[in-house]
Amino acid sequence: MRLELGKINIVDVQFGDTTKIESGTLYVNKQKIIDIVMEDEHIKSVEVELAKPGEETRITPVKDVIEPRVKVEGQGEIFPGVMSKVTTVGTGRTHVLKGAAVITCGKIVGFQEGIIDMSGPGSEFTPFSKLNNVCLVIKPVDGLKQHEYEAAVRMAGLKVATFIGKVGKDVQPDEVEVYETKPLLESINEYPNLPKVGYVYMLQTQGLLHDTYVYGVDSKKIVPTILYPTEVMDGAILSGNCVSACDKNTTYHHQNNPIIHDLYERHGKDINFVGIIITNENVYLADKERSSNWTAKLCKYLGLDGAIVSQEGFGNPDTDLIMNCKKIENEGIKTVIVTDEYAGRDGASQSLADADAKADAVVTGGNANEVIILPPMKKIIGMLDYTDKIAGGFDGSLRADGSIEAEIQVITGATNELGFNKLSTIGF
């Protein structure tokens, strides 16, 4: 598959009479966005706010972040199986509103949504502080169950991102990047002397608002399978989970997965990037065994020499991570695992809930228990009344002056396990 990504650089976002792009500024029609969101009978109200880099603005409770994109050429549409028909994507040309995002907010679970600060020390821990954000603060109708609330907010974000993305269809991109993965035998013949490397992409699928969707299917219902990397860029994988904010993979993370981009950068130079194996993170032991068995089998079937394995979440998924690592290594394939740590505020506790001697090559996104003080902000998009209960917070986290003392796990993307952050850890 061959995909061209046309990047349209967005340097500002403003409200306007029409939704359009002019000279790098994204103008959005506020009332049109409200109308789109309010089509859902499960939603009581929505507030549409703008948040720009450097502003003294705090966005919370954050549910998801989505990058507006639009198919220009090729099969299918963005977000297949959800916002469009179930057509295989990943070919042709896609335009990207680079520097813009749609952020959905809502107190869905209360303790597992996150914070994005657009300035101050907290802004350094999240990539989303550098974006021009259209924020949707969505309240449900009375009596709506949490999973129904989550579904409504998820769909609202995708609908708005799709609407905004379409204005880039006829805009000339500032830059075009090309990504291509050829059929396996053709790829091997093209680079016979380079090590074959694959990417094992673990998806959060523990249920109870811990879901990820692949072509519209709840991925806890799948067995491990193979994707072309360019399918991910066209929105084949969507976030639907409410795990801790620091290591959640938002939809934006999936669209811009840095592991995929880095592997493409080295493809044909010092590695042969064969493709992606997606797998899930299960609750029951039998399901963990099944998925890790299939993952190792597919790695062997593809003839890989090495595999990168990324995780989402912590605790229970640590077992899936180590199972995948051990079984792939047992097939004679070298692995590197990408995770983060919950090592206590002093960094002295065991970092992962599971471990094995074969997991001897580890990239970490940092220690989520590190404590930070977030100064008060002039503007709050959303609400703060749950701050003491959020994962990483505690009784008294929200101070009288509006500042917050908490662990960095309250910050959306702070220790992201795709490496989409600034943190890491040096081992001795």
DSSP annotation string for 81-136: TTTB-S-----EEEEEEETEEEEEE--SSSSS-EEEESSSGGGGG-GGGGSEEEEE
Please indicate whether residue 205 or residue 351 has the higher confidence score (pLDDT): 205
Contact partners, residue 55, CB within 8 Å, separation at least 6? 118, 119, 379
Instruction: Report the pLDDT averaged over residues 333-360.
Output: 88
**What tokens does 182 get?**
């050829």
Cite the DSSP H helix spans in 256-411. 258-266, 285-301, 316-330
Q: Model confidence over 150-183: pLDDT tens digits?
A: 999 999 999 999 999 999 999 999 999 999 999 9
Cα dihedral sign, 117-134-77-2: negative
CB 168 within 8 A of CB 95: yes
What pLDDT is attached to residue 81? 96
Q: Model confidence over 124-137: pLDDT tens digits?
A: 999 999 999 999 99
Q: Distances in Å between the alpha carbon of 129 and those of 22, 122, 147, 219, 270?
A: 22, 9, 28, 29, 34
**What tokens does 131 get?**
């974006």
Q: Model confidence over 244-259: pLDDT tens digits?
A: 899 999 999 999 999 9
Looking at the predicted structure, is the pLDDT value of residue 425 above 70? no
| Distance between CA atoms of residues 208 and 36, nearest Å | 27
Smallest Cα–Cα separation from 247: which of 216, 278, 280, 204?
204
What pLDDT is attached to residue 373? 96
Domain residue ranges of the chain, discontinuous segments joined by +: 2-410
Longest alpha-carbon distance in the chain = 65
Residue with tokens 């002056």: 401
Active site residues: 242
pTM: 0.96
Q: Distances in Å between the alpha carbon of 74 and those of 8, 170, 186, 234, 403?
A: 19, 15, 22, 11, 48
CB 50 within 8 A of CB 196: no
Please indicate whether residue 391 or residue 405 has the higher confidence score (pLDDT): 405
Under DSSP, the state recorded for 54 is T
Sheet-wide strand order for 20-22: 12-15, 25-28, 20-22
Q: Which residues share a beta bridge with 62?
A: 105, 114
pLDDT band with cut points at 50, 70 and 90 for residue 110: low
| Distance between CA atoms of residues 299 and 304, nearest Å | 6
Cα dihedral sign, 290-291-296-298: positive
Please indicate whether residue 341 or residue 307 has the higher confidence score (pLDDT): 307
- CA–chain centroid gap for 272, Å, is 25
Residues shown for the chain: 428
Instruction: Report the pLDDT averaged over residues 16-45.
Output: 97
- For residue 168, give the 3-state DSSP assignment: helix
What pLDDT is attached to residue 227? 97
Looking at the predicted structure, is the pLDDT value of residue 427 above 80? no
